């Protein structure tokens, strides 16, 4: 059986991780690929229910998502993971344990992310009503050498998704 891949989307809240991963997921499925999408917000309601937002809980959340992604990748799926994943060391650990790990940095300036925030989470964090919010009072460590960088303040969703699709094709994942 051919290995799949894990495409790990990382970036600030509201940078575009979910939007781009959903768009790419639809492209992959319509191309006949076996794919799965693990969205960080959804995972927190399931396998990570009960975890908070301390550094230890965030690391545990990423470890759990990574464990699922690794199993699905070894089963031949293309796994798209859209999770803030604020700690570089946690992502680097995943890179070592998951075959065909592709890190995608969804890069958007903080001001752009705040303008996109339809839930008002940045506003609540700035007022002190929401603690440990990544980018406000909790750190985000951008990747040093991601396979793909999507600058979502300057790129359309389609353009960003196609950059990732082309990366998958270059490394010959699932016959793309």
Write out the catalytic residue numbers: 85
- Cβ atoms 15, 85 nearer than 8 A: no
- Cβ atoms 149, 105 nearer than 8 A: yes
Strand partners, 138: 134
E strand intervals along the chain: 5-10, 35-39, 78-82, 101-107, 148-151
């Amino acid at each position: 059986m051919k290995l799949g891949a894990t495409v790990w989307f990382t970036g600030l809240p509201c940078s575009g991780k979910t939007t781009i991963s959903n768009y790419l997921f639809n492209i992959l499925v319509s191309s006949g690929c076996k794919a799965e999408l693990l969205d960080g917000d959804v995972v927190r309601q399931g396998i990570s229910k009960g975890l908070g937002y301390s550094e230890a809980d965030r690391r545990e959340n990423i470890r759990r998502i990574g464990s699922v992604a690794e199993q699905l990748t070894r089963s031949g799926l293309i796994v798209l993971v859209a999770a803030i994943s604020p700690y570089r060391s946690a992502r680097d650990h995943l890179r070592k344990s998951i075959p065909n790990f592709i890190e995608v940095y969804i890069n958007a300036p903080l001001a752009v992310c705040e303008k996109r925030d339809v839930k008002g989470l940045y506003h609540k964090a700035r007022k002190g009503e929401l603690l440990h919010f990544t980018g406000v009072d909790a750190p985000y460590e951008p990747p040093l050498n991601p396979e793909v960088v999507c600058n979502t303040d300057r790129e359309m969703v389609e353009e960003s998704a196609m950059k990732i699709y082309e990366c998958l094709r270059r490394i010959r994942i699932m016959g793309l």
